[in-house]
Amino acid sequence: MSEHWQATDPEDEPRRGRGLRIFLWIFGILVLLIGGAAVAGTYYVKHLLTPPAAKTEAVRVTIPPGAGTAKIAAVLEKQGLIRNHTAFVYYIKSIGEGSRFQAGEYDMTPGMTIEQIVDKLNDGDTVKKETVRFTIPEGFTVPQIAAKLGELGIANAEAFQRLADDPKTMADSPWLADIPADKSLTHRLEGYLFPETYEMAKGSSEQEILARMIEEWERKTAMLPPDWRSQMDKLDLDFHNLLTVASLIEREVVVDKERPLVAGVIYNRLKLKMPLQIDATVQYALGETKERLLEKDLQIKSPYNTYLNAGLPPGPISNVGIASVRAALYPESSKYLYYVTKKDGTQTHLFAETLDQHNRNIAASKQTAKP
C-alpha cells in the first residue's frame, strides 16, 4: 500500500503571512478612514447646527401662515439665523418639533441657539404690533362715527362713510342679512356698528374697522338670554327691525330702567297703528340734533319722520348698546301710549295712557323745570 503526499513549499508560508498583514493593514486603513469620516461628519453637522456669529442687532422675521418647516428654515437661513436650512429641518424632525410653529412677525438675534428659536416659534412670541384705541359712544350715527375716526386720525372719514353706505361692504356677513334693499335707507350700516372701546392694529383700513365693529355683535349677543332669537320671532321682528326699535330707545332714553317701559310704549303704538311721533326720528331726518323741534320740522318729508308716517322708520337711526337691544327684546308690559321727559334734570319720563293725561304730564314737567 502506497501513500501519496506532497511536501509544503517553504516559501508559501511567508507569502500567506504577508497577504494577511496587507489585508489587516488595508482593513485598518479603512476603519481609520470610516472613523475619521464619521468624526468629520459629526463635526460638520455640529458646525451646521451651531448658531452663526452673535450680533446685538435683531432682525425681523416673517413666518407666513401655513408655512411648513422647510419654508421656515429657508426664511431663517436667509436672515442669517441658521447656517443651513437642510440641517435645521433634519434636526427639527429628529427631536419631534415643528408642528407647533406659529405664523407672524418675530424679532430674532443672530447667535440664538436652535433651541431658543424653536421655543420662540412654539410660543408664538411675535412682535407686538402698535395699536390704537378709540371709543364709539352709544347713540352715535354713522356720520358721527366717521367724523370721530377722522378727527383721531384713525381713518379717512369720507372713505369710512362711503364704505358704510356701499351694499357690497361685508355683503356676506350673517349680521347684515336682514338689511332690506331699500333706497330710502340713509346709511346702510346704521345700527350695525356696535358702540364700544376698540383696540386695533395701527394702520387698520376702513374696511377692517367696519368689519371689527360688525363682528362685535357675535360677542355682545352672547350676553343676551339664550332665547333671544325666539323672542325676536315672537315679536314678529327680524334683526333689522330689532335694531330699528332699539335705536329709537337708544335715542329717547338715558336711564336704563326706563328702556323696557319705553319699548312697551313703542309696541303699544305699533299695535294700534298709531304714528310713533318720536322726535329723534325727525332729528335724524334733518341730519342734526336740535334742542327744540319747530312745527315746520315735524313736517319734513322723509320716510324717517314718524310724525307723518305710521310704523317703524326704514332702519335704525343710531348705533345701539346692548341695554337697548335687551329692552327691545323684552319690553315691559303696560297700557302707556305716551311719555314726556321731565324738566327737572333727572332725564327720566312721565308716562300716560291717554292724551289728556299726557297733556297734564307736559304741564307738570314744565313746572319742574330748573331755572
Same domain, yes or no, for 110 and 140? no
Strands (E), 111-243: 131-135, 197-201
Inside any domain, residue 203: yes
Inside any domain, residue 51: no
Grid cell listed for 309: 308716517
Inside any domain, residue 10: no
pLDDT tens for residues 53-90? Answer: 776 688 989 999 999 999 999 999 998 899 898 989 99
User: In terms of Cα–Cα distance, which of 139, 174, 150 is closest to 318?
Assistant: 139
Same domain, yes or no, for 251 and 218? no
Residue 199 sits at φ, ψ, to 5 deg, of -125, 120
Q: Angle CA(147)–CA(291)–CA(162) in degrees, nearest 5?
A: 25
Residue 52 has pLDDT above 80, yes or no: no
Single residue among 155, 188, 222 that ends a domain in this structure: 222
Residue 1 has pLDDT above 50, yes or no: no
Same domain, yes or no, for 247 and 361? yes
Grid cell listed for 179: 338689511
Characterize the bridge pairing of strands 104-108 and 59-63.
antiparallel
Distance CA 30, CA 24 (A): 10
Distance CA 279, CA 189 (A): 22
* Most confident of the following: 87-101, 105-119, 209-223: 209-223
Inside any domain, residue 267: yes
- Single-letter residue type at 323: A
Same domain, yes or no, for 206 and 266? no
Whole-angstrom CA distances from 260 to 81, 231, 238, 246 are 62, 14, 19, 10
More confident call, 201 vs 22: 201
**What DSSP character marks residue 65?**
T
| Range with lowest mean pLDDT among 48-52, 167-171, 242-246, 343-347 | 48-52
pLDDT tens for residues 195-246? Answer: 999 999 999 999 999 999 999 999 999 999 999 999 999 999 999 999 999 9
Distance CA 336, CA 262 (A): 9
For the segment 298-310, the average pLDDT, to the nearest whole number, is 94
In sign, the C-alpha dihedral spanning 177, 179, 182, 188 is negative
Same domain, yes or no, for 245 and 351? yes
Residue 198 confidence (pLDDT): 97
- Give, rounded to a whole angstrom, the gap between the first and last alpha carbons of the chain: 157
Question: How many structural domains compose the chain?
Answer: 3
Residue 8 has pLDDT above 60, yes or no: no
Same domain, yes or no, for 80 and 100? yes
Q: Which residues contact 346 (CB under 8 A, 6 or more apart)?
A: 255
Mean pLDDT score of the chain, rounded to an integer?
Answer: 88
Inside any domain, residue 37: no
Number of C-beta neighbours around residue 367 at 10 A: 9
User: In terms of Cα–Cα distance, which of 258, 276, 238 is closest to 327?
Assistant: 258
Same domain, yes or no, for 178 and 295? no
Give 294's pLDDT tier (boundaries 50, 70, 90).
confident
Residue 26 confidence (pLDDT): 59
Distance CA 222, CA 326 (A): 12
Residue 178 structural domain: 131-222
Give 174's pLDDT tier (boundaries 50, 70, 90).
very high
Enclosing H/E stretch for 214: helix 206-220
- 269 within 8 A of 352, measured Cβ to Cβ: no
Number of C-beta neighbours around residue 347 at 10 A: 11
Same domain, yes or no, for 264 and 346? yes
Q: Which residues contact 161 (CB under 8 A, 6 or more apart)?
A: 142, 143, 146, 187
For the chain, how many residues are written? Answer: 371
Residue 126 has pLDDT above 80, yes or no: yes
Distance CA 27, CA 44 (A): 25
Give 13's pLDDT tier (boundaries 50, 70, 90).
low
Distance CA 44, CA 248 (A): 75
Residue 250 has pLDDT above 50, yes or no: yes
Chain-centroid distance, C-alpha 198: 10
pLDDT tens for residues 134-146? Answer: 999 999 999 999 9
Residue 147 confidence (pLDDT): 97
Quickly list DSSP for 44-55. Answer: HHHHHHSPPPP-
Residue 314 confidence (pLDDT): 96
Enclosing H/E stretch for 63: strand 59-63
Give 305's pLDDT tier (boundaries 50, 70, 90).
very high
Give 266's pLDDT tier (boundaries 50, 70, 90).
very high
Distance CA 210, CA 161 (A): 10
Counting residues of the chain whose pLDDT is more than 90, the rounded percentage is 69
**What DSSP character marks residue 369?**
-
- 171 within 8 A of 194, measured Cβ to Cβ: no
Residue 41 confidence (pLDDT): 43
- CATH number for the domain spanning 91: value is 3.30.1490.480
